[in-house]
């Protein structure tokens, strides 16, 4: 996930996530902290887009019925290895 945002700057609405960390423990921990900072502490959340063949996802708040953050998963390029 991205580095912490310096004080006084807004967090980006759209996140870029590397495929290697997508849906791992660090990924969920970072999204939980982000949702808490955005006012969704203790709310039920879900990842939208997981049942589709896509690289675009959204963390949504089930309690508020709003998007917490959207993300683009960068797939690894096998040609670069």
- The range of the structural domain enclosing residue 67 comes to 14-80
For the chain, percent helix, then strand, then coil, each to nearest 5?
20, 30, 50
| Residue 67 domain flag | yes
- The tally of domains found in the chain comes to 1
| Residue 47 domain flag | yes
What φ, ψ does residue 25 adopt, rounded to 5°? Answer: -60, -45
Residue 26: predicted pLDDT: 93
Integer-rounded Cα radius of gyration of the chain: 13
The residue to which tokens 């797939």 are assigned: 75
| Residue 48 domain flag | yes
Q: Which pLDDT tens digit goes with each residue over 27-77?
A: 999 999 999 999 999 999 999 987 667 889 999 999 999 999 999 999 876
User: Is pLDDT above 60 for 7?
Assistant: no
pTM of the model: 0.73
| Residue 69 domain flag | yes
């Amino acid at each position: 996930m991205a580095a912490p945002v310096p004080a006084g700057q807004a967090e980006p609405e759209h996140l870029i996530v590397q495929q290697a960390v997508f849906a791992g423990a660090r990924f969920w921990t970072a999204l939980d902290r982000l949702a808490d900072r955005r006012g969704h502490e203790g709310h039920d959340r879900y990842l939208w887009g997981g049942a589709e063949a896509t690289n675009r996802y959204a963390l949504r708040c089930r309690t508020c019925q709003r998007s917490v953050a959207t993300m683009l998963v960068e797939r690894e390029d096998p040609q670069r290895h």
